[in-house]
Structures are given as structure tokens and as C-alpha cells.
Structure 1
């Protein structure tokens, strides 16, 4: 498993436990649940992470 570092969560989620954190791994990003950090994390490539962020900014997941 890739070693992740530099974990961050959105400043919009300061008063809640229902969020995820994003960390850095070589060539991409790691994502974990703030409620259960010990459960581990999944990783993405830099290209996958960029596409995901672009989809969020583009409103793809808006309900």
C-alpha cells in the first residue's frame, strides 16, 4: 500500500464527522473516512483525481 501524508479535509466540514480526508501519495491522492481512519484508505492516480475534482466543480454530482 502506498504511504499517504499531508491529510486535509474541507474547511466546510469543521463541525461534522461526516466527511472524508484527502492525502498525498506518489502520483496521486488517497481518500479516507474521518469517522474510521483506522479502516485505511483508497488511492487514485493523479489523472483520476483531477477528473473527479473537475466533475465536482462542473456540478456532475449536484442533486
Structure 2
């Protein structure tokens, strides 16, 4: 992956079973963006660095409080509907996709420092 225009490059959790279906994350000069890896041209949700840290704490802790300042999460059939607070963009993830993301969060795969260190 090559960083361009202040971006680290899109990445998914190493725990994603098929490597294609997961929370897709990119670190930008101003924060972080997520999208669904199966819909790369679909909606994106932006986080500031502080909001991202707060959301990772929620996801990693297994308790989504919706106090991160960027997104709200509602469950449906075991999956998540993630809605941006500023834009109302929505992303839907299955339980398997959320589990892979959470495992990656717990392993530090989505910390800004680790992601930028891994960018060539």
C-alpha cells in the first residue's frame, strides 16, 4: 500500500475470513474514514482522531455506548447498523464482519500509530 494525499491506504482486519467483507479503514491527514469493503464506492463515515479512539475503546470493550461523538450503532439480527452523526450515512455489517473487526481492534490493527508505521 502506498500512502497518497495524506492517506495510509484502506485496510481490513486480518481476521476477515475471506479478505473482502469487513469494516474497511483508512487513516487520513484529518482523522479516519470507514466504509464497507464490499461497497468501496458507497458511503463513508469520518471520525476525528479522538472520536476514532473513543469508538475503538467501545468496540474493543464489547460495549457500544454511542458516546464516541461520530457514530451510533444499532443491532439488527446480530449485525450492526452504523450511522454517522454528522451526515446520517449508514453502513451495515454482519456479526462475522463485526467480530473480525473487533478482533483486529483488540490486536491493535486499527490504531493510528500501527497503521501509519505499516505504511511504506
Q: Would you call these one fold, judging by a TM-score over 0.5?
A: yes
Candidates 49, 52, 57, aligned match of 1:54: 57
Match of 1:22 in 2: 25
In 1, the alpha carbon distance for the partners of 2:23 and 2:48 equals 17
How many residues align? The count is 60
Match of 2:82 in 1: none
TM-score with structure 1 length normalisation?
0.75
Contact kept, 8 Å, 1:8 with 1:22, in 2: the verdict is yes
Q: Which has the larger radius of gyration?
A: 2
1 or 2, which has the higher strand percentage?
A: 1
CA RMSD of aligned residues (A): 2.2
**Which runs of no fewer than 5 residues in structure 2 stay unpaired?**
1-5, 65-77, 79-120
**Poorly superposed stretches of 4+, deviation over 6 Å:** none
